[in-house]
Amino acid sequence: MKKSLLALVLLAQAATFSIAKESAEDTKQDVAKHRAIAAAHLAAATCRESGKDEDVCNKELQAACKGLAIGKFCGMKHEH
């Protein structure tokens, strides 16, 4: 009985934490990260439009995204 009650309490706590809203500051930081990632991708598109090689543009993208997103393509990669 005690184990069941403990499990129920832990489950309730987990549910409470999972539905908690993020703070306004967290939202502001998230938006800023998305804008920075978008700017890096826009720069990569501009790089490719200028006629530069894909490898050169990818290296610039990687440098611009360092610490922003997951993966060497700034959290996003499309097929070629």
> For the segment 31-80, what is each residue's pLDDT rounded down to a tens digit?
999 999 999 999 999 999 999 999 999 999 999 988 888 887 887 665 54
pTM of the model: 0.65
* Helix ranges (DSSP H) in 1-76: 2-18, 24-49, 54-65
Q: Domain limits at 59?
A: 35-65
Residue 63: predicted pLDDT: 93
Q: First vs last Cα of the chain: how many Å apart? A: 58
Total domain count for the chain? Answer: 1
Residue 52 in domain: yes
Q: Looking at the domain assignment, is residue 49 inside a domain?
A: yes
Of 55, 46, 53, 51, residue with least CA distance to 73: 55
Q: Is residue 46 part of a domain?
A: yes
With respect to residue 23, please indicate whether it lies within any of the assigned structural domains: no
Under the phi-then-psi rule, with left for phi > 0, alpha for psi from -120 to 50, and beta for the rest, what region is 37? alpha
53: in domain:
yes
Residue 48 lies in a domain: yes
Distance CA 75, CA 37 (A): 8
